[in-house]
Amino acid sequence: MSSLLHITNGDSFTKRLDKLNIKGDVITWREMLCEGKTLNTVGSESFWKTRYEFLHKNYKVSKSWFIEKTLKEYRSLCNHKQQDEIVLWFEYDLFCQVNMLAVISWLLANRKYAQISLVCSGKEDDSDKMYTLNELSDAQLMDLYKNKKVLSQDDIEYADYVWQLYCSNNPMRLENLTDFKDYQFAYLGDAVKSHLQRFPSIINGLNDMENNILSLAIDKKPSSRKDLLNTILQNQGNLGFGDTQYDRAITRLKPLFTAFNPVRLTKKGKGILDGKTSYYSCIQDNDVYLGGALKYNFLYNTNTSRILKL
């Protein structure tokens, strides 16, 4: 067993890393902790039980698939006890940053002796484009790896602290964080901001992502549901969500569409998007969690960028 361990953000990048011939063993973190309820005790029995229940209910993930894909890989991580150097490979977006926090929290509790380094892609040139790891060339990846950030104890404890706040039942504690620049997480501040904008807007009861879906439906005039899905994926800002997540979001918003071939909004949908009426009273599902907080127990004030508790 190598003295070096890599933890990656997903299977596609794990395959890429294998081809780079960097020494060390590789573990893939197969989770999407940006969605559904999370507990701060990463890796505990109650943590995995909570995650399985969410994934089974919302994405029809079977127990056998969850055990095979997620738990087996997690157990493999648990069995890698000898490595004194651990390298994390994550990206700038919300999806990745939340997973990164959870992994660091677990490492703080279970691998106190290890040196932890971070390779994180995002702003890689003078353009406005933010890059995923797989969008970079081999040379760019090797350069990022060579310049990886060795996390200090303060960095690690800060990541754990942000994770604890993410898992708390009150997102207002997260919005009071202003010291991101004091730590080596260049994209964490923006990710937390994006997370807070996932609570329903005080204006129309839809969050930033849901308003974006409706806006794209009008502005881009997609010809089909599939076309709408691809349009959203290309215009999603720094959420980093996948097609299954957006497909579920479109299904939730289905009452606001008259058709998907081509895509058309209802009169009510257009009124909600214009802020003339609110969708909040139509929302029946009061069991939606963002981290540890119930989504519909809070409102996001777009004018002040603050969270309000109902």
Q: In whole angstroms, how far apart are CA 67 and each of 63, 244, 277?
A: 6, 20, 44
Contact 242, 96 (CB under 8 A): no
DSSP category for residue 37: E
Helix (H, G, I), strand (E, B) or coil at 58: helix
Contact 254, 265 (CB under 8 A): no
Upstream peptide bond of 262 is cis (omega within 30 degrees of 0): yes
Helix (H, G, I), strand (E, B) or coil at 307: strand
Q: How far apart are CA 224 and CA 2, in angstroms?
A: 49
Tell me whether strands 298-301 and 306-309 are parallel, antiparallel or unpaired: antiparallel
Q: How far apart are CA 221 and CA 198, in angstroms?
A: 24
Q: How far apart are CA 307 and CA 302, in angstroms?
A: 9
Quote the pLDDT of residue 284: 66
Quote the pLDDT of residue 237: 94
Contact 307, 298 (CB under 8 A): yes
Domains belonging to the chain, first-starting first, are 4-195 (3.40.1360.10), 208-282 (1.10.10)
Which residue ranges of the chain lie beneath pLDDT 70?
A: 1, 284
Quote the pLDDT of residue 294: 96
Read off the pLDDT of residues 120-141 as tens digits, 9 standing for 90 and up. Answer: 999 999 999 999 999 999 999 9
Quote the pLDDT of residue 1: 60
Rg (CA), the chain: 20
